[in-house]
Amino acid sequence: MPELPEVETVKNIIEPLIKNKTISSIEIFYNNLIKSNIDDFKNNLLNQTFLNVTRYGKYLFLHLTNNLVLIVHLRMEGKFRYVENDNFRIKSTSLIFYFKDGTGLAFDDTRKFGIMYLSTEDKFKELEMIKKLGYEPFDVNSNNINDIYKKFNKKKPIKLLLLDQTILTGIGNIYADETLYLSKINPLTLGSELNNEDINQIVENSKKILRKAINLGGSTIHSFHPGVGIDGKFQESLLCYGKEGEKCPRCQTRFHKIFLNKRGTTFCPNCQINHELQKAIGITGPIGSGKSTALKYLEELGYLTFSADEMVHELYNETYIQNKISKILKFKFVYSDKNSRNYARKIMIENPTLKTQVEDYIYPLLEDKMLNIIKNNENVVFEVPLLFKAHFEYMFKKIFVIIVNKDKQISNLNSRNHANDLNSIKINSDFNYNKDNKNIIIIENNSSLADFFEKIQENINKD
């Protein structure tokens, strides 16, 4: 559905084309387009002249002589088409205004959801469809922001509140997703959980997004075009909308898509954290740091524990996954065959691009498995060696980063018969993680096992 920027673009396109044009006749091909009396509609508009076009929210107001106002809502795919030749009607045409100079204005609507309603200058703002509209974001200021605070204070997801035209009018699915992404607010966050600063940020970011979209002529998405042969350019600047599976430009996490009231909603789970998902504990760190030891200790304490490496092994055993990896690596990959695994590893070492493609395929599958476990269980712990590389930080209320000095690390690897790994050791100094993440807890494992377990226990109990 066209939103505020698209409707503003339509207004700017048609106003100079129809201004001072006088209606000589009207043909209506789809009666349900007209929501006022059809006979009155035709009779009252005959011989009237268009004066100007205004807009509020997603509504267009075509002002005419004799104090008339034609209210138009484009809905899903409605569009105006100015005609200067004989091709007045096409298959999707619902109505045509013929002008005395031989030109015309057609309203085309493939899905037939658009509406027109004829009113007057003194009455149209009091019609229920108009009167119930909330503020446009551009009109929100210090004098009325308290009204917005109150209207957002509901136990409904903020995405749905942004789509509620009685609160802020003009924002639809595209610009709601873009605004929340820019504001780093998860679409599932309840309005009642937001503070005034959050709401201020949402309003200001919606203004930024809408202004930019208007300057670029709106978004041409799917089958909507603001005019014949005219495309908006904002879709080329979209940050998150419609980018499910692509990587967030801020943090490289895969964009997720969910449905709220059947409306597709795209967001970055790492930038727009859903705090209800932050239930699990994550364990990570360099090889030989003691991750598996920590996981086993937490299992003994009664936690439900999972190894991401083992979960990945389970995925690799799936035939459809082996087939996909075979296509990426361009050879028949059979996970149960050690030689095949070694050859796949060799290919990926020699060609990092192919390695990235395999990871980009596997990580989302692992992510879905982990999320399903988190959603359905309490007291869950995951050992995830590549937690930060896979951008899984958003799942965890606590992330234990286990570090060791090099001597202890070498000792641990030798005890596990990993002497071959010593040439590729990554110690604490080059283990990358976001030091600003408040959920990260550094646990040193340079002393005794008892000391290590005591530190884990101490940090589990911390709020």
Give the single-character DSSP code of 253.
P
Angle at which helix 319-329 crosses helix 308-316, to 10 degrees, equals: 80
List C-alpha distances in Å: 413 to 289, 421, 438: 9, 8, 30
CA angle 26-28-34, nearest 5°?
A: 105
> Do 364 and 247 touch, CB atoms closer than 8 A?
no
Q: Which of 11, 21, 55, 58 is catalytic?
A: 58
Amino acid residing at 51? L
Report the C-alpha gap between 27 and 18 in whole angstroms.
17
Dihedral angle over CA of 184, 193, 241, 209, nearest 10: -70
The HSE-up count of residue 232 (CA atoms within 13 Å, CB side) is 31
Q: Which of 9, 152, 119, 22 is nearest to 74 (CA)?
A: 9
Rg over alpha carbons for the chain, rounded to the nearest Å, is 30
The HSE-up count of residue 428 (CA atoms within 13 Å, CB side) is 18
Question: Coil, strand, or helix at residue 153?
Answer: coil
Report the C-alpha gap between 199 and 191 in whole angstroms.
9
Q: Which of 75, 156, 207, 263 is catalytic?
A: 263
433, containing H or E segment: none
> Do 263 and 355 touch, CB atoms closer than 8 A?
no
| Per-residue tokens: 442 | 């550094």
Report the C-alpha gap between 244 and 254 in whole angstroms.
7
Could you confirm whether 269 is annotated as catalytic?
A: no
| Dihedral-angle region of residue 432 (phi above 0 means left; psi in -120 to 50 means alpha; beta otherwise) | beta
Dihedral angle over CA of 174, 177, 179, 184, nearest 10: -160
Report the C-alpha gap between 120 and 63 in whole angstroms.
9
Could you confirm whether 385 is annotated as catalytic?
A: no
| Per-residue tokens: 67 | 């104090």
Could you confirm whether 2 is annotated as catalytic?
A: yes
Report the C-alpha gap between 395 and 280 in whole angstroms.
7
Could you confirm whether 3 is annotated as catalytic?
A: yes
Amino acid residing at 210? L
Report the C-alpha gap between 42 and 97 in whole angstroms.
10
Residues assigned a catalytic role: 2-3, 58, 263
